[in-house]
Amino acid sequence: MEQLWPGGRGYLSVLSCFPPSVGRDVAVAVVKPLGAGLGNPSTHSLLHTDRQVKWAMEVLCYGLTLPSDAETVKLCVDVYSDWLTALVSPSESVPPPISREPNLYVQKILRHLCSLFQPRSDQVSPLYLGLCQQVLSAVQSLAREGAAMTRDTWETLLHFLLRINHAVLTPPTAAGVLWEQLSDASMAVLFEVWLLSCWRCFPSRSMWQTFRHMMTSWRRHLVAVEQWSRVVSALTSRLLLLTFGPSFPRLKVPDEDSALIPADLEDQRVSHTWFRFLHLLSNPADISQQVVVGSTPSPQDEVLRGDGSLPSIFFRAMRGVSALVDAFLGVTVINQDPSEQQPPHTGQTSRIHFRDRLPSLSVAVTRSPFKDRLPPYGLSRPRSGSAPPTPVNILSRANTSSYGTSPPKYNGQLKPVAKATSKPMAVSSSPHQWKSSPHPTSTSPLLCSSLRPPPSPVRCSVDSLLHLFGSWLFDAALIHKQSGLPDRWAAGRAEACGTLCRIFTCKKTAEEILSVYLSRFYMTLLQGLQVSPEACPPVLASILLNSTSLFCCDLRGVVLLLPPFLSALENVLLDRELLRFKCYANLVDLRRSSILILLSLLPLPLQFPLVQSEVLLNGEFSGDDVTGGSILSLKPRLISVLIGVLNLETDSFNIQLILAAILNLVQDSAAFEAAGQTQQEAAPQLDGARRPCSTGGTTAKTRAPGRTIQSETTASLWVKVVQLLTQRLTIQWKNNSAICLSALEVLGGLAKVKVKVEVAERRRAIASVCSCIVFQCGRPPPLHSRELHSVIVASFCCLNVWLTQHPAVLDEQDCLSGVLEIVELGLSGSKSRQEEDVRSKEEKELNPTSLRVKEAAEETLSCVMQASGVFPFLGDLLDEAALINLCGLNNSNEKKFRYFVLDNSVIVALLEQPAQPDNASRPSLTALIRGPTGCHTWTLELRLQPREGISPTQEPEFAQRRQEVIVRATVGSNRDNSGQQLTPVLECSDGAQEDSGKRCDIRTQSFPVKADLSIPPLHEIVTEAVQQQLEFLKAAFKRQQQVEAQPRLGGLSGVMKSCRMPPPVAKFQTARLFLSHLGLLTPETLKNPGIGSAPAQLVSLDSSVPGFSEDLMRLDLLPSRRRDSAFVFCMRAGQRTAAEIVRNVTSSHGVPPDFLDFLSSLGQPVAAGQRLGQFSAVLGDSGGGVFNGDKCVLVDADALTEIAFIVPSSPHMSDWPKSQVEAETHSESPGGVDVKSSRFVSSFIRSDSKLLIVWIERFQDVESFPLTELLSETKTDTPRCVRLSVFLFVCLYDLAVCVSLALSAQLIFIHPLQTGLYRICLHGNPSSKCSPVVPLVSGSVVSQRSLDFLVRETVVNFFHRRQLENDSAPLPHVRRKHMISDIIDRYRSHRPEPTFYSALFQDP
């Protein structure tokens, strides 16, 4: 710069050759007359010729250098400021020569004004600062409005600005706030004028080289780095708009920064200007290398400059680069001033706020669209000699693979990213309007979490970003290793490492990354993940915060990072205090990111049990931070971390993520063992993996023969997890409703895991759930809330799962009594054992905790009764017509059913079968029992049985009859269990078959009634006198027998006729006998209508009233179990419309084979309640579209829930299943759709909840899923039919309802990875109060072994959560109870008691 003007200090006036007093006197004498006429429009200039002007300019130039005469300097500045307007709007005070040749004189004036900014020996005053700002303002106006400026004038102006900034920023410089304000102002004007020059007169190549050289020497000043970041961000915002279009997320910068870029700047010049400005600062990593920054500073310069601020400047530069990377990734961020933070561990202060970011969705495009628009001299690529050594890793697989996880999607406001720490002063056209703030000093900034939206699907590729910023980021991330610098540079290193992690986690599906970039990235992570005492905490924290999806991006050789990541997770998650990280990051977010990484690591050991991973880096990582060996050997450590973090974690959301991970791990381990793959001997090729794994280019290595890995079994893990969850549920988590809900869901899932453990462990878990219910119900009334009652209801649901999955626990009396006490507590609000006097239920006052709790307790009581074998649990779909056919009767007998109501809650239909000649002594009765818990069918036989027992000759006959009774009892059914029972089972079996009702081995026995007990047995009333009479009577009987036998013995001819049995009774009133045996035909149970307020225990119904059969049919359609539905789609790569997605499942060629395997694991094909057969036979050539609900669906059912998985196959509205609301509104069914099947499918569909499962081939298409199109209006009839869920329709009159439904829809995206694992991503807002729903959460990585189980559990838990939040969604048995009550009120028979009794003796 010193070569621009002779002398090294700019232009020197001729007065400098005279003594200082002479020059000062001449300057004062000349300047005062010239300055006197300024500001007066009528005043003309005193100078008229060129010689006069040039002589006066010599004097003015000298006057600007006067050190102590402030008034003279001010007049000189005023005169030159006035003369600079010659190129803008010349006034009368401007000399005529200057007006004639303004460009020539303006160039000279700019050279003279450089003298004003030279360092001065005296103290810098506010007046001097004001004069400098006045000059800068004049120059700024000249650049903005000087349309007549020539190229020479523009170059002179740029040289002037470069010169004064070099004078202000180059050591030795004056110290103080005023000088810093001057540097802020001069740098801001330089960048603004340079941008204006790019618009009007693009600077030459030599000017750009000079500017870049100057910036290399100025980057040790924070103001230069801040202004550079500010301008580059504004240019990047404009470049993105031109390159990617308006649909790409804009980089939002402040309006004052956007105004720096001329609106009329040509598009071609925008890209050129952006690229040149980007490289003005050169490599920011060189800031840490003092020898590179200009010349080597002297010790005096070091003291004057204060190199203690260089680390914060380095960090600010890296943060600016990070903001640019975020912009190209499509992350919409707003530049704002970060809040001040002062780390307590240092005495230095700083206002720099280091961002922490949670990673975003990995979406990318093939190449960078702006690459071809860059200047022709190429891109910034890594230097050939700067690549670090490639780490050596040995793996046992030949091909490469990678793993990953989907980060959660957040919709919150973003934290500031790319704004300067101290806001740069805004330069205005008027003088004295700059603002400034003191520069921060070096410190380690605090990492603050910010919620980040997903990147844009059309962002540039990973290689393109690394071509631009890779060399800077890698050099900055490794400066500690390369130069041995202390940790005061950790903030910049952490920013660089975090940015690199975000770039690589944004890799798109099937995208290839250069090996040199991968090796350098892995080297960076191995360096940053060290957990030794000399490790750098902020770098480790930054890597963890930005790597949550690193193991689910299919990065080649990412398995190499599993041991160091595991060591880092142990260091973070198992430390309760985290004192090393408290000054750098939000501890809750740091632990959350670590948990998300742990979620992606859990399935790896079982997926790749034989993969070997050893890292050798010149022996540098020989400690505990990197562990060699097989991947399976890391499973015990993963389990220890998972259990340990559950004991230490306190954040509610983090705990719920851990709970989801626990169920995933236990189920995967159980499925692994069930498949015959033990941890000691694992098959070399797993079913779930489609490709073997290695870190390409390495040699394979297998375990030594005989070497085994010791690890706990799944059963022991299950016991440990259940004990831990139940303990914390009843102690630590009992006051947190969100954690309680998730823990109860996980406990319910663990009850379904197939492991062999002691029954005592299961009973202990049930006792813990009961204790949780007791505690929650016993809270004081002021603490009762809707959330509390939801937890109690969820506890009952969890208890139901355990009872139905493990009915053997009720064989122990203590467990059964404990469960019944909990049921009593839920029904009445208290337990009998807690009261002094035990009262019967008729006398007990019912005061339940809430109606919802009471209904949940009723459901649990039903589970207890069914699980204990009193009623058959699963059965066929039987009604009156079906029973008539099974009994071999004609349809006319259907009217012979008698209908009674028991206890105002159960409808019993009795069919008296006519007596047959071969079984006249065994009258039979068929009972069809409709209650709140379902519909059950029983066939009973009545026969006489001797009171004194069965003789040996009669025993075979009675045994055969008992067997027949048992067989016929198995016809009992639960009407709505369509997915489990297809045909009645009429054969005897020792155990229940998969598709049969539960066998109830009920032995026939006498049921004594009051009439039987009225006559006591003879032996109970015999006295001594009576005994003598009996003996006398027996002796008389004996003598009589002897007398009667005498004629035959004596040969007399008298003939005696033998007695004959009377003819058997041919007609029985079996219904009367049945009701009598149950004790229902008594005056206490029968009351005349209208007498008393309490309903009669036995009431008859009048089946002749019109509508009776239809109401019974509607009652039968109401399920007794929870019925939910989910809709499954397959989205191929690049698809964007709903029609394309739906069309995939019409043919098996349109979907991948893995999708069909996934469908087959979800459930069994069912049509109208009947099982169709094997999945492959029903599927045929379809791609899954056969399960669209027209004919059949996939149903998975257990004792409590039924889930229908529907695969839409047509975009037409008439082809989609409807909910029950619409099915009742539109009586006409679509053509080709079976009415019975339509009713069956509609019973699963809920209009208030929508859940979509999307199999997505390319993960970047997650943001392109056409949910709005699927939910959009497709029919123009009035009222408009708006699509609900996936083509589920109800009549809506406002389109806003459709929008709200779309916002509440829950989407589960399943993305298959090349490793055979599956990446999970959840979109939507399933629950505003209790999210997330477990076990599948965004960020999960699951194996094929457990995918179907986890999906079903998530579906069940999702709808259960919705039911807890929705008051208008009662439990199934409550809906049936209300329907039964309506039928009783409508069809009750008002007959007096005599008429009722007489009807029992008559045929119906």
b or e along 1235-1246 (b: 16 or more beta carbons within 10 Å of the residue's beta carbon)? Answer: eebbbbbbbbbb
For residue 1158, which amino acid is it? F
Q: What is the mean pLDDT of the chain?
A: 76
Q: How confident is the model at residue 515, as a pLDDT?
A: 94
Q: How confident is the model at residue 314, as a pLDDT?
A: 92
Distances 466 to 463, 473, 517, 668, 894 between C-alpha atoms, Å: 5, 9, 8, 38, 80
Percent of the chain with pLDDT over 90: 41
With cut-offs at 50, 70 and 90, classify the pLDDT of residue 70.
confident
Q: How confident is the model at residue 446, as a pLDDT?
A: 56
- Kindly give the pairing relationship between strand 392-393 and strand 615-616: antiparallel
Is pLDDT above 80 for 983?
A: no
Tens-place pLDDT, residues 589-599: 999 999 999 99
Of 119 and 1177, the structure prediction assigns the larger pLDDT to: 1177
Q: How confident is the model at residue 179, as a pLDDT?
A: 75
Q: Which of 985-989, 1121-1125, 1130-1134 has the lowest mean pLDDT?
A: 985-989
- Kindly give the pairing relationship between strand 1318-1323 and strand 1306-1312: antiparallel
Q: How confident is the model at residue 177, as a pLDDT?
A: 72
| End-to-end Cα, the chain, rounded Å | 117
For residue 79, which amino acid is it? V
CA distance 1089 to 1389: 9
Contact predicate 1350/1342, CB 8 Å: yes
CA distance 1184 to 1253: 14
Of 154 and 1010, the structure prediction assigns the larger pLDDT to: 154
Q: Which of 229-233, 501-505, 735-739, 952-956 has the lowest mean pLDDT?
A: 952-956
Q: How confident is the model at residue 836, as a pLDDT?
A: 60
Average confidence (pLDDT) over 1128-1132: 95
Tens-place pLDDT, residues 453-494: 788 888 899 999 999 999 999 999 988 665 555 577 899 999
CA distance 717 to 756: 11
Residue owning tokens 């962002």: 459
With cut-offs at 50, 70 and 90, classify the pLDDT of residue 795.
very high
What three-state secondary structure class fits 416? coil
Q: How confident is the model at residue 1002, as a pLDDT?
A: 45
Side-chain half-sphere CA neighbours of 1168 within 13 A: 8
CA nearest neighbour of 542 among 361, 354, 391, 314: 354
Contact predicate 537/580, CB 8 Å: yes
- The secondary structure of residue 252, as a DSSP letter, is B
Residue 925 φ then ψ, to 5°? -145, 135
b or e along 165-198 (b: 16 or more beta carbons within 10 Å of the residue's beta carbon)? Answer: bbbbbbbebbeeebbbbbbbbbbbbbbbbbbbbb
Chain centroid to CA 392: how far?
A: 36
What interhelical angle do 737-752 and 759-777 show, nearest 10? 160
Contact predicate 1376/1117, CB 8 Å: no
The structure's pTM equals 0.80
Q: Where do the DSSP E strands lie in 124-179? A: none
| Number of neighbours of residue 798 by Cβ within 10 angstroms | 27
Of 398 and 243, the structure prediction assigns the larger pLDDT to: 243
Residue 797 burial by CB count (10 A; 0-12/13-18/19+): exposed, middle or buried?
A: buried
Q: How confident is the model at residue 1012, as a pLDDT?
A: 61
Sign of CA dihedral 721, 725, 727, 732: positive
Percent of the chain with pLDDT over 70: 69
Residue owning tokens 């708009």: 241
CA nearest neighbour of 1253 among 1243, 1267, 1264: 1267
Tens-place pLDDT, residues 414-434: 233 333 333 333 333 333 333
CA angle, 319 then 324 then 325, to 5°: 95
- What H or E segment, with its residue span, contains residue 904? none
Is pLDDT above 90 for 1047?
A: no
Compute the residue count for the chain: 1404
b or e along 355-386 (b: 16 or more beta carbons within 10 Å of the residue's beta carbon)? Answer: bbbbbbbbbbbeebbbeebbeeeeebebeeee
Is pLDDT above 70 for 611?
A: yes
DSSP 459-489: PPPHHHHHHHHHHHHHHHHTHHHHH---GGG
- Could you tell me how many helices (H) and strands (E) the chain has, helices first? 47, 22
What three-state secondary structure class fits 441? coil
Average confidence (pLDDT) over 171-190: 78
Average confidence (pLDDT) over 1142-1164: 93
Tens-place pLDDT, residues 836-894: 666 676 677 888 999 999 999 999 999 998 765 444 443 446 788 888 877 766 666 56
Q: How confident is the model at residue 613, as a pLDDT?
A: 67
Of 69 and 60, the structure prediction assigns the larger pLDDT to: 60
- Kindly give the pairing relationship between strand 1201-1206 and strand 1122-1131: parallel
What interhelical angle do 562-573 and 587-601 show, nearest 10? 140
With cut-offs at 50, 70 and 90, classify the pLDDT of residue 182.
confident
With cut-offs at 50, 70 and 90, classify the pLDDT of residue 1235.
low
Residue 992 φ then ψ, to 5°? -75, 130
CA distance 572 to 1316: 29
CA distance 930 to 1115: 9
Q: How confident is the model at residue 952, as a pLDDT?
A: 54
Contact predicate 197/140, CB 8 Å: no
Tens-place pLDDT, residues 654-698: 999 999 999 999 999 999 999 875 444 444 443 444 433 333 333
CA nearest neighbour of 244 among 514, 501, 455, 454: 455
With cut-offs at 50, 70 and 90, classify the pLDDT of residue 62.
confident
For residue 770, which amino acid is it? C
- The secondary structure of residue 214, as a DSSP letter, is H
Tens-place pLDDT, residues 183-209: 899 999 999 999 999 999 999 999 999
CA distance 1394 to 1403: 16
Q: Which of 392-406, 1080-1094, 1292-1306 has the lowest mean pLDDT?
A: 392-406
Residue owning tokens 């948990």: 595
CA distance 536 to 486: 10
